[in-house]
Structure 1
Amino acid sequence: MKTVILVRHGKSSWDYEVSDKDRPLKERGINDAQIVAKKFKTEDIEMDFAYSSPANRALHTSMIFLRNLEYDLGNFQVDESLYDFSGQSVKTFVEGLDNKMSTVMIFGHNYAFTNLANTWGDQYIENVPTSGLVQIKFETDQWSKISKGITETIIFPKQLKQ
């Protein structure tokens, strides 16, 4: 069994004249990431590794999540190929993962994550929102052979706000 947990970065700010990679999170992005991470913590999932796009907004989101999950940052890595908007680079990355790992969490971007959630999962998702989490399980023991899986968990910030 292989499980991938896709987390789209939190809402980012356009208030600064910085490159796309350097855009920071808005306060809402920070708050939404906190509430989704706290909800996901109740799922009590054992993760083997976490990866993030190098973009500031994805990296900041990953730190919020991983701290809330009390995750060992020794099992965390930033990978340039996750700065991807189509999904093809993320797909190639996941298919190349070490088969010793069963469950990975990836922090990245749309359209890539909506595309992959719909390609891999068994539930149609119109759009993975900022700070949205989608967990998909695959009936295989090799990352290179993942195809259609089962969408096990969907957590979107809107669901958690009163």
Structure 2
Amino acid sequence: MKTLILVRHGKSSWEYEVGDKDRPLKERGINDARKVAKAFQFSMPEINAVFSSPANRALHTCLIFLRTLDFPFENFRLENNLYDFSGESVMTFVQGLDNSLDTVMIFGHNYAFTNVANQWGSEAVGNVPTSGLVHLEFDIDSWDQVSGGTTKKMLFPKQLNQ
């Protein structure tokens, strides 16, 4: 069994004149990431490794999750292939993961994560929103076999604002 948890970065700010990789989170992005992380910790499987896109907004979202989930930083790594907007590099990265890892959490971008969730999950999602989390499970032993799996959970900030 392999488990993949996708988390789209929080709402980013366009207030600063910086390159795409340097865009920071808005306050709403920080708050939404905290809400989703807190809600997820109650149903969270044991995570073996966490990977994040090097973009500031994805990394900041990841750090909020790591702190909230009390996840050891030594099992975290930046991954350039997660700075992807189509999903092709994300899929290639996932299919190349070390098979000693059973549960992996990745932080990245749209439309990549919506495409991955729709291609590999069992439930259609129109759009993974900012700070959105999609938990997928695959009945396989090797990451290179990843294809259609089961969508175990979708956790979006709007659900938590009620």
Counterpart position of 2:128: 128
Q: Where does the alignment leave 5 or more consecutive residues of structure 2 unmatched?
A: none
Runs of 4+ in 1 over 4 A off after TM superposition: none
Counterpart position of 1:75: 75
The number of residues matched between the two structures is: 162
- In structure 2, C-alpha distance between the alignment counterparts of 1:61 and 1:130, rounded to whole Å: 10
- In structure 2, C-alpha distance between the alignment counterparts of 1:28 and 1:44, rounded to whole Å: 23
Counterpart position of 1:17: 17
SS of alignment partner, residue 135 of structure 1:
strand
Q: Does 1:115 align with 2:115?
A: yes
Counterpart position of 1:140: 140
Report Cα offsets for 1:29-85 as digits up to 9, x if no partner.
000000000000001310000000000000000000110000001000001111000
- In structure 2, C-alpha distance between the alignment counterparts of 1:136 and 1:45, rounded to whole Å: 11
Alignment of 1:18-37 (within 5 A): 18-37=18-37
SS of alignment partner, residue 28 of structure 2:
helix
SS of alignment partner, residue 36 of structure 1:
helix
Structure-1-length-normalised TM-score? 0.99
- Residue type of the partner of 1:62? C
Q: Where does the alignment leave 5 or more consecutive residues of structure 1 unmatched?
A: none
Q: Does 1:90 align with 2:90?
A: yes
Sequence identity percentage = 64
Counterpart position of 2:49: 49
- In structure 2, C-alpha distance between the alignment counterparts of 1:29 and 1:51, rounded to whole Å: 19
SS of alignment partner, residue 151 of structure 2:
strand
